[in-house]
């Protein structure tokens, strides 16, 4: 597991720089390599950074933050890059996004019912993933495999297709009595993750939870919750040269200038020899980034 393939020399970018309003890392999974492919996004710029692994990089935050939704300047970022007015009014910033089983559409208190109809009343998928051990999660069908790449999962397997977000939240709640829904990000970044037999875990969980799933099907309809058949677990590799022994968490609010050798990329994290930084947390920050060839 230690020997991960890095980008070929030809794809190495040297002395590249980007600056602008930071967005979450764009991570794709090319089927040819099976290795996560990272792009740094600042403003309109999109820069391939797998080639930065092994190089000395510098990140600097000017301290300015602009809301990722409306663009207004904000002194503090709420919910990964929102100003307070957006955070407290947008449907996708509401607590039911974190806890879908608490969907309050039917109580008439959805912040934006039309948005809810477009995003929540859509098929969702319940999956098992392995980012720091076995976990359960839900995602919209269209958000795979991005969701798993963002979490730093090394394996993932869709197990159930569910009609709506609320119902998938109820299925997830059922699973949470048997399996975690959290990632231990420190363990994920230390690379101490043993591969699991996700097919066997799925079969075990579906058998153990059969009565609960049956009850949900009686409530929402036989077709509302369907087993995903004939799908193999997805295996994901990350461009990491070396795992950190100790995790030091870096933060633009405390350390506006961050420098060090980039040891790897995993989930939404940059792993440097000087510490790790979750870039998603700093969406909306005005940031410049550059790498110099070692
Ligand atoms: Zn805003």
- Residue 162's pLDDT is what? 96
Distance 65 CA to ligand 1 centre (A): 11
Distance 71 CA to ligand 1 centre (A): 6
Of the candidate ranges 50-64, 134-148, 260-274, the one whose mean pLDDT is the lowest = 134-148
pLDDT in tens, 167-206: 999 999 999 999 999 999 999 999 989 999 999 999 999 9
CB 279 within 8 A of CB 23: no
- Residue 292's pLDDT is what? 87
Distance 70 CA to ligand 1 centre (A): 4
Distance 69 CA to ligand 1 centre (A): 5
- Residue 67's pLDDT is what? 96
Instruction: Take residue 290 and report the two structure tokens written for it.
Output: 């550059």
Distance 223 CA to ligand 1 centre (A): 39
**Which residue, 177, 135, 168, is CA-closest to 152?**
135
- Residue 98's pLDDT is what? 87
Distance CA 244, CA 252 (A): 20
Q: What is the CA radius of gyration of the chain?
A: 20
Distance 90 CA to ligand 1 centre (A): 9
Distance 66 CA to ligand 1 centre (A): 8
Neighbouring C-beta atoms of residue 76, cutoff 10 Å: 10
**In which band, very low, low, confident or very high, does the pLDDT at 1 lie, cut at 50, 70 and 90?**
very low
Distance 3 CA to ligand 1 centre (A): 43
| pLDDT over 80 at 2, yes or no | no
Distance 68 CA to ligand 1 centre (A): 7
Higher pLDDT, 28 or 1: 28
Instruction: Give the C-alpha distances (Å, rounded to integers) separating 251 from 32, 61, 156, 254, 289.
Output: 34, 10, 29, 6, 15
Average pLDDT over residues 53-81: 96
Query: Model pTM?
Result: 0.90
**Which residue, 137, 182, 128, is CA-closest to 158?**
128
β-pairing, 124-130 vs 134-140, is: antiparallel
Average pLDDT over residues 41-61: 96
| pLDDT over 60 at 9, yes or no | no
Distance 93 CA to ligand 1 centre (A): 11
| pLDDT over 70 at 13, yes or no | no
**In which band, very low, low, confident or very high, does the pLDDT at 141 lie, cut at 50, 70 and 90?**
confident
Distance 83 CA to ligand 1 centre (A): 4
Distance 142 CA to ligand 1 centre (A): 25
**Which residue, 24, 59, 58, 41, is CA-closest to 149?**
24
| pLDDT over 70 at 31, yes or no | yes
- Residue 23's pLDDT is what? 96
pLDDT in tens, 226-244: 999 889 999 999 999 999 9
- Residue 263's pLDDT is what? 97
Distance CA 128, CA 175 (A): 10
Distance 73 CA to ligand 1 centre (A): 8
pLDDT in tens, 244-279: 989 999 999 999 999 999 999 999 999 999 999 999
- Residue 192's pLDDT is what? 85
Distance 77 CA to ligand 1 centre (A): 10
- Please name the residues in contact with 83: beta carbons below 8 A apart, sequence gap of 6 or more: 67, 69, 70, 72, 74
Instruction: Take residue 178 and report the two structure tokens written for it.
Output: 């048997």
């Amino acid at each position: 597991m230690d020997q991960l393939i890095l980008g070929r020399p030809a794809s190495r970018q040297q002395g590249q720089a980007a600056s602008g309003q930071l967005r979450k890392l764009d991570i794709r999974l090319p089927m040819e390599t099976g290795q996560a492919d990272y792009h740094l996004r600042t403003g309109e710029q999109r820069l391939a950074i797998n080639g930065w692994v092994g190089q000395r990089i510098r990140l600097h935050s000017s301290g300015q933050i602009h809301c990722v939704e409306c663009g207004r300047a904000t002194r503090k970022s709420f919910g990964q890059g929102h100003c307070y007015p957006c955070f407290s009014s947008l449907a996708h910033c509401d607590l039911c996004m974190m806890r879908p089983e608490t969907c309050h559409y039917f109580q008439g208190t959805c912040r934006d019912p039309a948005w809810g109809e477009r995003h929540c009343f859509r098929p969702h998928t319940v999956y098992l993933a392995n980012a720091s051990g076995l976990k359960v999660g839900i995602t919209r069908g269209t958000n795979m495999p991005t969701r798993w790449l963002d979490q730093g999962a090394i394996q993932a397997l869709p197990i159930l297709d569910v009609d709506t977000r609320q119902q998938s939240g109820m299925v997830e709640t059922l699973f949470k009595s048997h399996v975690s829904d959290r990632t231990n990000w420190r363990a994920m970044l230390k690379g101490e993750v043993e591969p699991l037999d996700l097919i066997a875990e799925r079969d075990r969980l579906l058998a153990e939870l059969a009565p609960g799933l049956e009850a949900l099907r009686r409530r929402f309809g036989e077709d509302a919750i369907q087993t995903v058949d004939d799908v193999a677990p997805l295996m994901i590799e990350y461009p990491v040269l070396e795992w950190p022994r100790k995790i030091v968490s870096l933060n633009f609010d405390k350390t506006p200038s961050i420098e060090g050798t980039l040891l790897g990329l995993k989930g939404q994290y940059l792993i440097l020899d000087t510490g790790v930084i979750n870039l998603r947390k700093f969406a909306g920050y005005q940031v410049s980034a550059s790498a110099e060839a070692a």
